[in-house]
């Protein structure tokens, strides 16, 4: 956990220790301190708090952290539930973005998901993303009737931000088979990547359609 604010950092570390005793968490006051001591601590996920700064103000540091962290995912905790902040964090290579208003359990869940190549955004953040869409009628996505039962299950997992590995495990499929299903779903949705596909799937759910129609 990297946070320049001593009180907030120590409070978060202590809260995680109390709520989840099985989790080991170490606090650092800066990126430089983490870099100088990182060899002494094994870590799976790095939580980076921007403090009272915007992501754009610390973008170089976040990008450097992502590079030096290697295979360890970086989860950014920002000051605001703002679409621009989320995009800036992902542009730096962060795996997840959480506003500081979330609870300890959300932070832990996002960290766990990040270790499986998943991307976590709280419901409030997804609502903010939807609110950023222009107010106009979107063409309907008429693909539900063309999906197999297995593809519908993959769709549900995809819109929840689950990684191929997790989807394969839950549906008892090979990862290569999951990739084929996702490619077909993206084609039917007219999506350029899985993030856009998940966004379109969630948009249909938020609209109360209950299915892709």
Spell out the domains of the chain, with CATH numbers in brackets: 6-131 (3.40.50.2300), 144-206 (1.10.10.10)
More confident residue, 120 or 66: 66
Q: What's the whole-model pTM score?
A: 0.58
For 29-73, the pLDDT digits (tens) are 999 999 888 665 566 899 999 988 999 899 999 999 999 988 889
Phi, psi for 188 (deg, rounded to 5): -70, -30
DSSP secondary structure of 15-66: HHHHH-TT-----BSSHHHHHHHGGGS--S-EEEE-TTS-GGGGHHHHHHHH
pLDDT cut 70: percent of the chain above it: 78
Return the pLDDT at 206: 42
Q: Could you tell me which residues are beta bridge partners of residue 28?
A: 2
SS (H, E, C) 119-156: CCCCHHHHHHHHHCCCCCCCCCCCCHHHCCHHHHHHHH
Confidence of residue 120 (pLDDT cuts 50, 70, 90): low
Mean pLDDT of the chain: 81
Return the pLDDT at 122: 65
Task: Retrieve residue 189's tokens.
Answer: 């949705």
Confidence of residue 137 (pLDDT cuts 50, 70, 90): very low
Q: What share of the chain is helix, strand, coil (3-state, %, to 5)?
A: 55, 5, 40
**158, 147 Cβ separation under 8 angstroms:** no
Report the alpha-carbon distance of residue 98 to residue 77 in Å, rounded: 5
Phi, psi for 84 (deg, rounded to 5): -65, -35
Name the range with the highest mean pLDDT among 31-45, 89-103, 126-140.
89-103
């Amino acid at each position: 956990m990297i946070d320049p604010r001593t009180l907030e950092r120590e409070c978060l570390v202590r809260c995680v220790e109390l709520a989840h005793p099985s989790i080991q968490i170490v606090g650092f006051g800066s990126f430089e301190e983490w870099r100088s001591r990182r060899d002494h601590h094994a870590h799976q996920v790095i939580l980076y708090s921007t403090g009272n700064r915007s992501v754009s103000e610390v973008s170089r540091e976040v990008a450097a952290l992502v590079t030096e962290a290697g295979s360890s995912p970086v989860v950014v905790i920002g000051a605001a539930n703002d679409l621009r902040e989320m995009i800036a964090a992902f542009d730096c290579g962060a795996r997840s973005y959480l506003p500081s208003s979330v609870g300890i359990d959300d932070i832990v869940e996002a960290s766990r998901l990040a270790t499986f190549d998943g991307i976590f955004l709280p419901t409030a953040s997804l609502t903010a993303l939807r609110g950023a869409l222009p107010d106009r009628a979107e063409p309907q996505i008429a693909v539900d009737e063309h999906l197999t039962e297995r593809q519908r299950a993959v769709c549900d997992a995809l819109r929840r931000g689950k990684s191929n590995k997790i989807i394969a495990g839950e549906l008892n499929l090979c990862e290569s088979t999951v990739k084929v299903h996702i490619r077909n779903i993206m084609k039917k949705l007219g999506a350029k990547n899985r993030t856009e596909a998940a966004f379109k799937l969630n948009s249909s759910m938020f609209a109360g359609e209950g299915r892709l129609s």
